Amino acid sequence: MILTIIAVTWLFLVLVGVPIGISMILVSMGYFYWTGMGLAFAMSRMVDGLNSFPMLAVPLFILAAGILNGAGITNHLFGFARALVGHIRGGLGHVNVLASLFFSGMSGSALADAGGLGKMEIEAMRRAGYDDDFSGAVTAASSMIGPLVPPSITMVLYGVISNTSIGQLFLGG
């Protein structure tokens, strides 16, 4: 019953035009007030979540992707992939996939991969005469390699939730 009330209240706030993040905060605060838990309980749970060493890897993966992109490493990475497989027929599609494979080994995230390399890959494919729809599809598909290649955020989260060794998950991947 409580879950239904929370979901309906959140949906109502979103449909009224309240931003999603603010509506989530408002619904959470309403829940804590209604149940009498208090905000001190919520703050202690949040701090306990920050004390998890493996969970610290998630924002650091995202930070690493931002640093790689800001430092221009992605340009060099794309150039390296182009030197390896750019001569093959349909080479830029192969370059797109290979660059995503390399970048996902550093960032661990599909979104970071698409954000870091996507614009550059699509522009290079456009200059080579590829259709925009095809370029976007190849870029979107190749960015999905990110969660599969260790180290990935998905493996870290799985390891934390299932109490499995993250190092063994990386070796298994």
pTM value is: 0.63
Nearest CA to 35 out of 3, 11, 10 is that of 3
Pair 2, 27: CB distance under 8 Å: no
Nearest CA to 153 out of 51, 53, 61 is that of 61
Please tell me which residue, 22 or 62, carries the higher pLDDT value: 22
Ranges of each domain in the chain: 2-50, 56-143
Residues 6+ apart with CB under 8 A from 156: 54, 55, 57, 58, 61, 108, 166
Over residues 111-158, the pLDDT tens digits come to 778 877 888 888 888 988 889 999 999 999 998 887 888 777 788 888
Q: How far is CA 79 from the centre of its chain?
A: 23
